[in-house]
Structure 1
Amino acid sequence: MGIASRIVTATDAEDVVQEAWLRWNSTDRTIVRSTPAFLSRTTARLSITMTRTAYARYQTAAGLQPGDAVRAATDPAELVENAEQLLTAMAVLVTRLDKREQVAFILREAFDLPYRNIGELLGLSEPNARQLIRRARVRLVDGRGRQAPPVERFRLFAAFLDAAHQGDLAPLAELARKN
């Protein structure tokens, strides 16, 4: 449990330990030189695999992927569907990230801005911007969130749409400075 809980969440750690135990039970023990080494390595590898597959599930579950080309929708139903997907993505950002992380993540992933430019917009150095975005990615994968009022999601959504349509990223960056 100790190895698994250092790599995955507590509930996932229990699943990993159960899977490791099942593998141990189905293993020919005559070829195992060290039982603790076998169980430790199996647990660590299963934990890492679970983390990777959780990240892959997260990437495909959101519907909109960073770097996906947004094509112009002409069908009203498609416009509504795209807006709903964007609102869902904004809800995930608002519940899992603080405002600076939200804006930095959007600037990097949606607008493909270099870290230097993100740092300038947010009043950070390039290494700090890089660290902020790395921390945002980790928190998105982590899955823990907080309750956030719907107005925060719509405020971020509106700023994102304005930045996408007008090309002015300053109002979006201003969101990071507001309390």
Structure 2
Amino acid sequence: MESEHERSGDTVGVPVEDRRADRATEAFVAHRNLLFTVAYEMLGSAADAEDVLQETWLRWAGVELAAVRDPRAYLVRITTRQSLVRLRTLGRRKESYVGTWLPEPLLTAPDVAEDIELADSVSMAMMLVLETLTPTERAVFVLREVFDLPYEEIAEAVGKSPAAVRQITRRARAHVAARRPRGTVSPAETRDALQAFQRAAATGDLRGLLDILAPDVVFMGDGGGVRQAIPHPVTGARDVAGLLARLGRFSAPSLRPAHVNGYPALVLRVGGEVDTVVAVRIDDGLISGLYSVRNPAKLSHMRRVTTLCR
């Protein structure tokens, strides 16, 4: 039976199926940014997150909406399940990846940093920590710790009991806590560290680089076998500083600040196109991680701002 709204003048002559399709579209669009954020945090790949959203839409379009009590929870559940399927495919793809694999960087609006928990969860450093979790642990951690979903909803999304989800949450939380940056870093601290790094790299100032780099700093480069990049991570302040001093005099003057994955980063453009994105991790005021992404297939989301939300 049609509702009063469906019989009202603004829907006269519109087939019931069309009205249902409109409602499905409205609900999906309303939650699209949330669904993308969920998928991206689970996958570390914006391209794969977009594919997951396509799959989510196809399944959502076939759902009987009258039976759905909470469209947001239902859509998150579909997105999570599709992300888990995609994660296993990504795992096989990473095994044959040429060189170091890094998450796909996103150009984000400065206001993302205002939500500290969201910015921290999508930072390049945290995305790499999430890579060390199993697919199920990653899904549970993201849904609980980032999006604060009830255990019962997470259990439905991952096909586990609520009790099992609680155990997985504790295990994943401890795993992440042992590997995440040691303290919350403000965008201003990140920006200051980047500026100091850029000044030192631009002049080849080895002493200046050593002053801003943590003793156990790691430099990682991702060229995907398409662009030249450091084939293996370089660790230790002296080795990283030496590498940057050699490279920086050529590239540092052309690096420009941008907000990437919720935090300030540096972007190199060549001929108007993004060539390299350099994100950082900071611990105790020093740069402990430098992540340089050059693979062209991973730079498409640097052309426009991606809206993230919880």
Tell me if TM exceeds 0.5: no
Q: TM-score, normalised on structure 1? A: 0.34
The structure that is helix-richer by fraction is: 1
The structure that is strand-richer by fraction is: 2
